[in-house]
Amino acid sequence: MATANKNLSEYDKATIPNANKYRFGIVVSEWNDSITEGLFQGAYDTLIEHGALPSNIIRWNVPGSFELVYGSKKMQEQMVNSVIAIGSVIKGETKHFDFVCEAVSQGIKDLNVIRETPVIFCVLTDDTMQQAIDRSGGKHGNKGTEAAIAAIKMAELRKNS
């Protein structure tokens, strides 16, 4: 397990650019909302901590993780500097998990290749609810925090490239 001995919320704060000049879009899946709300809060709090203005953070909800691709595509049109796609897919008894995870991963990758505004992949793809809890504010920290840091860094990269 990649995060077995790592806390996703630990990073060197001195290396993060100030986010006060950027606008961020956050697209949040309503499915598994006990997990996605924790991820959103981690992302939001981290953006604010690094200077983002609350008025420069736009949140949209979509029904499920599959819809994150369309929501992120539309968010890219909102004059944001980066987008964070937040979702949680937990493995069940059918192949649905595999299809959703593959589609969302490929869809977000495609948005990053085709369009100019970066989309950060903050979709947990866990085998169990406990794994999702551990990564959305639990013992492994918060993947939302990690996604916010990536969003700030990618906004900075886009500005400087």
Residue pLDDT, tens place only, 79-106: 999 999 999 999 988 888 889 999 999 9
Residues annotated within the binding site for 5-amino-6-(D-ribitylamino)uracil are 31, 65-67, 88-90, 121
Residues annotated within the binding site are 31, 65-67, 88-90, 93-94, 121, 135
pTM: 0.94
Residue pLDDT, tens place only, 121-140: 999 999 999 999 999 998 98
Please say whether the beta carbons of 88 and 40 come within 8 A. Answer: no
- Average pLDDT rounded to a whole number, residues 101-114: 97
Residue 33, sorted as left (phi over 0), alpha (psi -120 to 50) or beta, turns out to be: alpha
96 annotated active-site:
yes
- Average pLDDT rounded to a whole number, residues 104-111: 98
Which residues, in sequence order, are CB contacts of 80 under 8 Å at separation 6+? 22, 23, 24, 25, 58, 117
CA distance 101 to 114: 20
Active-site residue identified among 96, 109, 139, 159: 96
Structure tokens at 144: 């939302």
